[in-house]
Amino acid sequence: KGFDGGSSTVTVVAAYSPLQVSVYGGKDPGSFLAGVAHAMIGLGPSISEVLVVLSPEVMQYVNEAGWSRQQVQEFLWEKAQLPAREWIAWRRVEHPENFTDQDQLVGCVADPSRITVVAAGGAAGVYIDVIGSWGNSRSVTRKIEVRS
């Protein structure tokens, strides 16, 4: 969100309940992030933002594989899309008449930048939380200034 790695920040967001995704079967980000993308699909189309919270262990896997935060965002965005006809069939689209191309891919979010990836938590295991923003809200991040 525009801060250097040494900065302390706080991010707040109006959000739905988190969905915990367990990571099994390897350290390859392409494998375990596919499950995260499937969880994101459960949020529905056109969410304003999705927070993806990686445990320290999972973040280590991502780093060891050489993936950047942007690569994680792009991978999740690409995999969390469905054709409009599927969203419509599942009754997840408020105005289906707006989709003239039923094969058009529609994502959970408008673009990869709407997926906020953060590392948080302790040494509790290989877990990822998926948190959809509430309504049309977006997260806000501010730098924490420590005063002596």
- 39-69 per-position pLDDT tens digit: 999 999 989 999 999 999 999 999 999 999 9
Q: Are 51 and 76 in contact (CB under 8 A)?
A: no
Establish if 6 belongs to a structural domain. no
Q: What is the pLDDT of residues 69-117, one digit of tens each?
A: 999 999 999 999 999 999 999 888 888 898 899 999 999 999 999 999 9
Domain that holds residue 115: 21-137
Domain count, the chain: 1
Residue 10 lies in a domain: no
Which tokens in the block code for residue 40? 């994101």
Distance CA 134, CA 44 (A): 12
pTM summary value: 0.88
The closest of 36, 23, 18, 118 to 77, measured between CA atoms, is 36
Has residue 26 been placed in a domain?
A: yes
Residue 38 lies in a domain: yes
Residue 116 domain-assigned (yes or no): yes
